[in-house]
Structure 1
Amino acid sequence: MESGAIPEDSITASSFTGVWHEPYRGRLNGVAGQAAWVSKYDTIGEWLQVDLGEMKRVTGTIIQGRYVADEWVFPGSAGRHIPVTNLLNNPVYARYVRFLPQTWHGRMSMRAEIVGCDTTAVVPTCPYLLGMESGAIPDGSITASSFYGAGSEPYLARLYGVAGGGAWVAEHPHTIGEWLEVFPGSADRNTPVINLLNNEVDARYVRFVVQSWHTMVSMRVEIVGCNTTICSDPLGMESGAIPDDSITASSFHSADLVPYNGRLNGVAGGGAWMAISNTIGQWLQVDLGEMKRVTGTIIQGRRNTEQRVTSYKLQYSTDRITWTTCAGSDGSEMDFAGNVDRSTPVTNLLNNPADARYVRFLPQTWNHVMSMRAEIVGCNTTAVLPCLYLLGMESGAIPDGSITASSVGGLNYVPYRGRLNGVAPGGAWAPLIYSIGQWLQVFAGNVDRNTPVTNLLNNPVDARYVRFLPQTWHHVMAMRVEIVGCNTSLPSVDSLQFSQSVRICLGWNPVPYLMAASLHLRSMMLDMSLTAGG
């Protein structure tokens, strides 16, 4: 589009206003004519269409507003000049691409580009047979929702298989919902098998639960991942990078309490967004302008009066149509802790970061009236480096004492023998009993005497006294510590004083202080218990 490789007559539209507003004026960064395609009618259903000339792999789009006037399509563009890129979650093969504006500023005007590549340039990078036909995937790695009987078991579902009945057959073969599942484990004793998670998780403990095995339950493992603290930048509420018209709400009380006054540390107008009615179901919504990795939120109360949200739910979306509510570990919708005063920011980090363009705050409880200021933290999705680092089983960075198991088959099969490519006596971890449910667990603790390790409580507690009870240690029991939390009554983020009651919580932004406000464990302190009372 921008380069002109797509000819003018390949760019068409449902309508256009007149001369100088033709469809081919809608090229990214175009300045010819009136420097945009402008539809004749400002109604939903109008479209701009591009013929790519042949089948292409389409991976995303870029749009802009009109060059010579404040007219643009949103929530695509945030202004008339700034290009906004949207990458498709699932790339498609197509010759024709059509843009259908849903909302706009001024007039329905736009300039656009389409990104992708030739279909011939998409080289299959993973065309290998993984072992169903060859038998490299063992029988025990093939499971199903049910099977009809002897001769129709899941492992008979191998390509070109002739054993038994020659296929897997479900117990209810005409019922939608039956399934066949293959999870490749090891095919021999030496070749590592890598299984990447469909949905990455943030975790401290990882447990391998054995389901099937060859001869004996024995294994050596590694865990693949990365540090979770690399994606925690403010995304533009406080700085103003998110424009006013990208901040909307279900309602607002008055001209001084409009949605865009709900910026973190904002002092404009009435110093917050306030809903017109104090009822559950009200929301404050932020359009991030493009897909971002969202890792948490920060909220505040109203600047000049004791009005604040004390708990809220969080939703996110890629298209403003389908919304997902953040859930807890049990799968139920999660209520995030809100403010205890009008000024102190409260940070809540997501257990499972989300890729989203739209974020919605839904207050659940509040003090006096529903008022809030907010920020969203995360990073550009393009800045999320592949999270594929070996975390320390093979290298030894994870110490022996951090590797535990349900049982041990003998001195040569202790849990720490279960390191990837390990060759120490026994050569693997093996349990005492070969039964489904045996497990190997890895807890990545301290690996040296200087690097701080931070452990945040799943459920914050109110306490005056905090006690550390070492459970394992390296050489001798020695440690240096800090406690992370906030005062239960005063809006302060200073170091905690033992002479007053404190709340061990995330009632402040931990990111700048993460290294300072950590549990400093001298030597390799592998595990500990924390009890609190008061």
Structure 2
Amino acid sequence: MPLMFRLWFLIFEIAITEYAALGWSFDNTAKVFNGQEVSSYTSSIPSVSLITCGSTCFSRKRNGMCNICGYDKVSKTCFLSDDSEDEIIFTSNDSKVVLKPVETVCESSEYLVNGGDPVSDDQFSASSVFQDLPNHGASKARLHSLPSSTSIGAWAVGTKDANQYIQVQLNGLSQVVGVAVQGRPLKANGCCDQRVTSYKVLYSWNCQQFLTVNDTNGMEMIFAGNTDQDTVVTSMLPKQVLALCVRINPVTWSSHIILRFDILGCRVFDGNKDQDTVETSILPSQVTALCARVNPVAYVDHISLRFDILGCPLN
């Protein structure tokens, strides 16, 4: 019997701020230390919650606007500070808090498209396909694909412009940390020198509303593509993102827009849409464990859950 998680609330991390408009809280982590306060601050934000302060602190640090943050539980004020950890003041007043932003990443990322739990062909889609030929279709774009009687071994666009994309719906909500790309595999006769030389990455938690991965300055990030057909070029995102669908949008190319690709990351499990319905998620393969942790990644209002672990004892 496969080991299974039974989860009773939504999955957490403190909150990727772009999702706030969609009614979710997503983020990376700001660790909270009670009985501490910053020695100085550059600005303050009144009348905010501790969670909002943590989310703000994380995004401001990413943009170089602070290092750590203080929070006063009584006045509900968030203090943005350039203090180092050595400058933190320890106090017996538990209403004083210091928040230290920490970006969490997948402990062991894997290929999410064609790895141990590969997606099906119908989970691929594209803006266009060369002459609508099936052997040039989006599902032919798996990393390390080779030419065959039914495939050129890659995806090829029908329209050569910077508005094209290839999309994959992952097998479940996942933390995405990177992208790996290849060009068109060479045939025995040397055809063809075709590859994407730069691209953007877009992602969505619902496969309808997409966000573009930005650099640390808030600008749309351009990733380096391939300089030959077969070398796998892997680019890590500046921060992990939570996604169900990922798009690769070619920006520049050699001869024709053609690529093979995979997505690096780790799977997370669906949580709850209400308080009482039991949501059961099955691991892609059973594991042997003495201890198990449930790590919330997204949540509504507050992190709260009831859970159980399903499996069978070994003794």
TM-score bracket, shorter-length normalisation: 0.5 to 0.7
Is 1:266 the counterpart of 2:110 in the alignment? no
Cα deviation code 1:171-194 (max 9, x no counterpart): xxxxxxxx844679xxxxxxxxx9
* Matched letter for residue 317 of structure 1: S
Instruction: Indicate the residue corresponding to 1:242 in structure 2.
Output: 119
SS in 2 for 1:245: helix
| 1:226/1:248 CA distance change after superposition, 3 Å | closer
| Displacement after TM superposition at 1:320 (Å) | 2.0
Instruction: Indicate the residue corresponding to 2:88 in structure 1.
Output: 219
* Matched letter for residue 173 of structure 2: M
SS in 2 for 1:256: helix
Instruction: Say whether the 8 Å CA contact 1:259–1:273 is kept in structure 2.
Output: yes
| Displacement after TM superposition at 1:358 (Å) | 0.2
SS in 2 for 1:271: coil
SS in 1 for 2:247: strand
Instruction: Indicate the residue corresponding to 1:310 in structure 2.
Output: 197
SS in 1 for 2:252: strand
Alignment of 1:135-150 (within 5 A): none
**Matches of 1:280 and 1:375 in 2, distance apart?**
20
**Matches of 2:235 and 2:111 in 1, distance apart?**
13
Is 1:367 the counterpart of 2:254 in the alignment? yes
Structure 1: gaps spanning 5 or more residues: 1-56, 61-87, 91-129, 131-135, 146-178, 185-193, 388-534
* Residues paired across the two proteins, number: 213
Instruction: Say whether the 8 Å CA contact 2:129–2:137 is kept in structure 1.
Output: yes
**Matches of 1:336 and 1:299 in 2, distance apart?**
10
Cα deviation code 1:445-477 (max 9, x no counterpart): xxxxxxxxxxxxxxxxxxxxxxxxxxxxxxxxx
| 1:220/1:226 CA distance change after superposition, 3 Å | farther
Instruction: Indicate the residue corresponding to 2:267 in structure 1.
Output: 380
Instruction: Say whether the 8 Å CA contact 2:37–2:89 is kept in structure 1.
Output: no
**Matches of 1:199 and 1:284 in 2, distance apart?**
29
SS in 1 for 2:67: strand
| 1:202/1:219 CA distance change after superposition, 3 Å | closer
| 1:59/1:323 CA distance change after superposition, 3 Å | same
* Matched letter for residue 260 of structure 1: S
Cα deviation code 1:381-423 (max 9, x no counterpart): 2599759xxxxxxxxxxxxxxxxxxxxxxxxxxxxxxxxxxxx
Alignment of 1:505-524 (within 5 A): none
* Matched letter for residue 283 of structure 1: Y
Cα deviation code 1:151-201 (max 9, x no counterpart): xxxxxxxxxxxxxxxxxxxxxxxxxxxx844679xxxxxxxxx95766698
**Matches of 1:302 and 1:318 in 2, distance apart?**
29
| 1:228/1:58 CA distance change after superposition, 3 Å | closer
| 1:240/1:200 CA distance change after superposition, 3 Å | farther
Is 1:319 the counterpart of 2:206 in the alignment? yes
| Displacement after TM superposition at 1:240 (Å) | 7.1
Is 1:339 the counterpart of 2:226 in the alignment? yes
1:351 corresponds, among 238, 244, 249, to 238
Instruction: Say whether the 8 Å CA contact 2:105–2:240 is kept in structure 1.
Output: no
Q: Percent identity?
A: 26
| Displacement after TM superposition at 1:313 (Å) | 0.3
| 1:327/1:384 CA distance change after superposition, 3 Å | farther
Pairwise CA RMSD: 4.4
| Displacement after TM superposition at 1:236 (Å) | 2.6
Structure number, greater radius of gyration: 1
* Matched letter for residue 271 of structure 1: G
Cα deviation code 1:54-80 (max 9, x no counterpart): xxx8759xxxxxxxxxxxxxxxxxxxx
**Matches of 2:111 and 2:182 in 1, distance apart?**
14
| 1:243/1:201 CA distance change after superposition, 3 Å | farther
Instruction: Indicate the residue corresponding to 2:215 in structure 1.
Output: 328
The TM-score, its normalising length taken from structure 1, stands at 0.34
| 1:261/1:384 CA distance change after superposition, 3 Å | farther
Higher relative contact order (CA 8 A, sep 6+): 2
The TM-score, its normalising length taken from structure 2, stands at 0.56
* Matched letter for residue 265 of structure 1: H
Instruction: Say whether the 8 Å CA contact 2:197–2:253 is kept in structure 1.
Output: yes
| Displacement after TM superposition at 1:255 (Å) | 1.9
Instruction: Indicate the residue corresponding to 1:391 in structure 2.
Output: none
* Matched letter for residue 334 of structure 1: M
| 1:289/1:218 CA distance change after superposition, 3 Å | closer
Instruction: Indicate the residue corresponding to 2:279 in structure 1.
Output: none
| 1:225/1:367 CA distance change after superposition, 3 Å | same
* Matched letter for residue 289 of structure 1: N
